[in-house]
Structure 1
Amino acid sequence: MAENKMLKFVSVPRDMPEKRLATARREDFREIYAEFARDKAAEQSSRCSQCGVPYCQTHCPLHNNIPDWLRLTAQGRLQEAYEVSQATNTFPEICGRICPQDRLCEGNCVIEQSGHGTVTIGSVEKFITDTAWDEGWVQPIRPARERPESVGIIGAGPGGLAAADYLRRAGVQVTVYDRYDRVGGLMTYGIPGFKLEKEVVDRRTKQFEESGVEFVLNCKVGEDISFDAIRGKHDAVLIATGVYKSRDLPDSDHNGVVRAIDYLTASNRKNFGDDVPEYDSGELNAAGKKVVVIGGGDTAMDCVRTAIRQGAESVKCLYRRDRANMPGSQREVANAEEEGVELVWLSAPKGFECDAQGVRGVHVHRMRLGTPDATGRRMPEKIEGADYLEEADLVIKALGFEPEDLPTLWGVEGLEVTRWGTVRAEFGTGATSLDGVFAVGDIVRGASLVVWAIRDGRDSASAIVEYLDQSASAGVAAE
């Protein structure tokens, strides 16, 4: 009888790829996890219990066929594993690196619930697709039939690129417009290299270019080209701009108090080798400074870990709730603490201490958790008389992002938005109030995860193909 290569979670313990020592990884922006070896990836995949109801798949926004590609990996059938993974996910190698698996697939693994330790799904996913690139299995898109219709996509982030991939496979002509000089959106300029090395994004960009996707970069809609011009040039338009307007604090317009997006973009540009005057001047550089980051999400963790690598004297993160209620990945919190970051729980900013040169400290409220709000999370309350001053030379506001006012910014009439400022779009299709205009990702759902943007982009691209088919049928009928 052939050996059963699965169900080994009882005899094989959970293992992760080797993680570089904190003392070493503090010195550079390279990824902190090594790659699984082929045998180790097969061994860890063999721990999958092959559940009849796979909760890992259910809790993945893309509903990836995780048990199937784990089984194929355990059997050594890596090219088939890659093909199954790629069938539902445009960027498995990126999701394997940056998805909060501890809150999604791995956090809902059945053997994790039974006390055996979750399958290391993200690391295997990364291994499969990195192997596919190394072996040449990832090829430019060559649709079986080219279509005459074209779609303009505004935004070269994960939602826009996922849609571009789907549309090119359907033979649709695709042009992507983006405000930045490189493709990738926050994957390029927001997420640091120690979580996602930029070569990973660059090779996908090259694949898109070789697949016939046209990129128009350094292009601000409303300034360099009008929305109406894009709409007039294409048979359909997809808005996938993301959200870039930073949430702010009152009275925070001081030298040395900066936005997370500016800080992270400057760091990533510097690592690309770009000329970054704001970094060189010290404005967006943490070297030698006492750094305080305000916020509790993954962006805050990106900022504190970047500051460590830039040579900050000290790095502290203020968050108004406790560790259990922190919205970011617990794995990222652990990595930050290993690297020397101090997490200051139940602390909220009250104001800033400044002199003629700029910020010198943050006035901090001590907090406690009170009664739950409508979502069930306990609300933070101030502890009277427990305020103190936290010294700081650089304060980074990582409070999340909000949508820009696109109708005003672009001069678009009839594009409906919600009371939160996000574009109002139909669930599942992304159809907006304007005919032939669709919207996906954070500009619809608010600041969220890369994996959700990919899901939205793929779903909307399918709806766009259906819209183009209907338009073509209507045109034939009119003739």
Structure 2
Amino acid sequence: MSERPFPFLKFPRALPSEVRIPIRVVNFNEIHADFLGSERVDQASRCIDCGNPYCSWGCPLGNRIPQWLKLAREGRVEDAATLMHETNPLPEICGRVCPHDRLCEGVCTLEQGFGAVSIGAIERSITDEAIRRGWRPAEATSRTDKRVAIIGAGPAGLAAADRLARAGVSADVFDRHEEIGGLLTFGIPSFKLEKDIVRRRRQVLEEQGVRFHLGVRVGHDVAFERLVDDYDAVFVATGAYTAVDAQLPGQDLSGVIVALPFLIANARQQLGTATVADVLPDLKGKRVVVLGGGDTAMDCVRTSVRLGAERVTCVYRRDEENMPGSRKEVKNARDEGVIFRFLAQPLAIVGDGHVDGVEIVDTELVAEAGGRARAKVIANGTQTIPADIVILSFGFLASPPDWCASAGIELDNNGRLKVGGPSRLPQQTAHPKVFAGGDTVRGADLVVRAVLDGREAARSILSQLGVVA
């Protein structure tokens, strides 16, 4: 096709068509369709290949975005997917769940004045189409006799498995859940990431030779020491599942629930694998208040809408500009009827046996030298937001397994596994055969950074094993 002068002037920034709000809020399907006709090519053509690829620098994975946008513009879908996979083992997932507005698209040269290139939507569209056509990542040219155990089938574990398999190393992934994905499956709702996408990635990985051992708890069903003895290396990616305790008065009242168990129970209801432990409250006609401002809080408010809540309110102590969550998720939540109370600090959850409301006080932001603005309470009286259900979403901490101490794996003061440092490879722990990454090292963080850790851990493992990738 011939090049058009200044396509970004001809084609405004656009995303694939969005399901109408009255329809999307009554199910858990993804809210965006795929590009139609020439839309993907048109949007990819908006990239001006500015010479200094701010988008690539803004991506934790260093994706070669201008290069695969050029391939997409030329209609070379399989070639674009191949280039994507050189840096990103899970592009169709990152294309859906990354906060592109804070990463690659946020630093796009066109962002100011013309609208950033729709990088995330194009990434998702290309990978989906390539896999539908039968394309697969490059396979190992030869197999080695090396074996690596991966503990955790979340994004870090899956990324490591991909890189190891493609280098001819046998990867065995152990996970306590019944499906792969970790929080990709059990934390992120289907309206952001349909679970067939994760299952499809499992199929791709299994075709590469990765073996999954699901429903297996390391330390209970199989000893960690056995994995260390039987495998040439072990990668630990057990995530962050321990909820931050805000110690709010009244948080033990009936009707107060924690975000992650709520999302996991809903995911299992959707998957048809719920157990008696996966208790999902009846939200129909209820007033729901979610405390917190991250992406998990947005997942909770949008899930509550779909479960029939009459009124959903998000309370956050800072302003909208300083929310840690993705701006697009805040917009989606607001479009779906969620009410936001910014600059409001929860003081207590009130009720007699069962929650009746949340007592809040107004805040203002105070600049901190070299850091994030701090929320300061304004002493002008309190208010109470009526509530039938309160969901606590103050973040999550790393969940170090009990066997870390006996294995000599060092932890920091927040319970995160310590990696790297003098005389160690990137992602290597104090135990020379054990590597770690993702939320178990960083604390609760972005999916794309977990993918980065898995990729880099695999690189270090291959280096230690003397395998040329």
* Bucket of the pairwise TM-score, normalised by the shorter protein: over 0.9
Separation (CA, whole Å) in 2 of partners of 1:121 and 1:12:
14
Question: 2:378 matched to 1:383?
Answer: yes
Which whole-Å deviations, capped at 9, do the CAs of 1:132-170 have from their partners, x for residues lacking one?
11111126x642211111111111000011000000111
- Kept after mapping to 2: 8 A contact 1:45/1:124: yes
1:222 lines up with 2:256 in the alignment: no
Tell me the TM-score normalized by structure 1: 0.93
Q: 1:6 to 1:131 in 2, by over 3 A?
A: farther
Alignment-derived partner of residue 53 in structure 1: 52
Matched, 1:334 2:328: no
CA distance in 2, matches of 1:275, 1:437: 33
Given candidates 421, 425, 434, the residue that maps to 2:419 is 425
Q: CA deviation at 1:174?
A: 1.0
Cα offset for 1:236? 0.4
Match of 1:359 in 2: 355
Q: Does 1:189 align with 2:186?
A: yes
Which residue of structure 1 aligns with residue 114 of structure 2? 116
Q: Are the equivalent residues in 1 in contact too, given 2:400–2:440 (CA < 8 A)?
A: no
Q: Is the 8 A contact 1:27 1:309 kept in 2?
A: yes
Equivalent residues in 2 for 1:384-403, closer than 5 Å: 384-403=379-398
2:364 is aligned with 1:368 = yes
- Unaligned residue ranges in structure 2 (runs of 5+): none
Report the counterpart of residue 78 of structure 1 in structure 2.
77
1:310 paired residue number: 307
Tell me the residue number matched to 1:475: none
What is the deviation of 1:230? 1.5
* One-letter amino acid of the counterpart of residue 396, structure 2: F
Matched, 1:460 2:457: yes
TM-score (ref. length: structure 2): 0.95
* Deviation of 1:361 (Å): 1.2
What do you get for the CA RMSD once the two structures are aligned?
Answer: 1.8
Give, in whole Å, the separation in 2 of the partners of 1:263 and 1:374: 37
Partner of 2:440 in structure 1? 443
Structure 1: distance between partners of 2:109 and 2:463: 37
Once residues 435 and 378 of structure 1 are traced to their aligned partners in structure 2, the CA distance between those partners, rounded to angstroms, is: 40
Given that residues 6 and 47 in structure 1 are in contact (C-alpha distance below 8 angstroms), is that contact kept between their aligned partners in structure 2? no
What is the alpha-carbon distance in structure 2 between the residues aligned to residue 275 and residue 50 of structure 1? Answer: 48
Task: Name which of 190, 200, 203 aligns with 1:203.
Answer: 200
Query: How many residue pairs get matched?
Result: 463
Secondary structure at the counterpart of residue 9 of structure 1 = helix
Say if 2:238 and 2:400, in contact at 8 Å, map to a contact too: no
1:31 pairs with 2:55: no
Paired amino acid for 1:382: V
Q: For the Cα contact (< 8 Å) 1:147–1:172, is it kept in 2?
A: yes
Give 1:224 deviation, angstroms.
2.0
Contact 1:7 1:50 in 2 (8 A): no
- 1:89 is matched with 88
Identify the match of residue 134 of structure 1 among 123, 132, 149: 132
Deviation at 1:223, TM superposition (A): 2.0
**Residue 151, structure 1, aligned to residue 148, structure 2:** yes
* Counterpart for residue 14 of structure 2: 15
Unaligned ranges ≥5, structure 1: 473-479
Q: 1:6 and 1:303, CA in 2 relative to 1: closer, same or farther beyond 3 A?
A: farther
How many angstroms does 1:411 deviate by? Answer: 5.0
Residues of 1 paired with 2:189 and 2:154: CA distance? 15
**Aligned partners of 1:435, 1:89: CA distance in 2, in Å?**
26
The Cα of 1:226 is off from its aligned counterpart by: 2.1
The residue that corresponds to 1:240 in the other structure is 237
Aligned to 1:476: none
Asked if structure 2 preserves the Cα contact closer than 8 Å seen for 1:35 and 1:127, the reply is yes
Q: CA deviation at 1:398?
A: 0.8
Q: In the TM superposition, what is the alpha-carbon distance from 1:376 to its structure 2 partner? A: 2.9
Give yes or no for contact 1:290–1:314 (8 Å, CA) kept in 2. Answer: yes
What amino acid sits opposite 1:416 in the alignment? E
For 1:194 and 1:312, locate their aligned partners in 2 and report how far apart those are by CA, in whole Å. 17
**2:466 aligned counterpart, secondary structure:** helix
Deviates more, 1:9-18 or 1:149-158: 9-18
Map of 1:404 onto structure 2: 399
Instruction: For 1:57 and 1:6, locate their aligned partners in 2 and report how far apart those are by CA, in whole Å.
Output: 23
> Given that residues 404 and 410 in structure 2 are in contact (C-alpha distance below 8 angstroms), is that contact kept between their aligned partners in structure 1?
no
Deviates more, 1:9-18 or 1:54-63: 9-18
Shift of 1:233: 1.5
Q: Distance in 1 between matches of 2:325 and 2:173?
A: 30
Deviation at 1:420, TM superposition (A): 2.0
Residue type matched to 2:128 in 1?
Answer: D
Question: Structure 1: which amino acid aligns with 2:389?
Answer: L
**Percent identity between the aligned chains?**
44
The residue identity in structure 1 corresponding to 2:135 is W
CA-CA distance at 1:3 after TM superposition: 2.8
Shift of 1:375: 4.2
Question: 1:438 and 1:360 mapped to 2: Cα distance?
Answer: 47
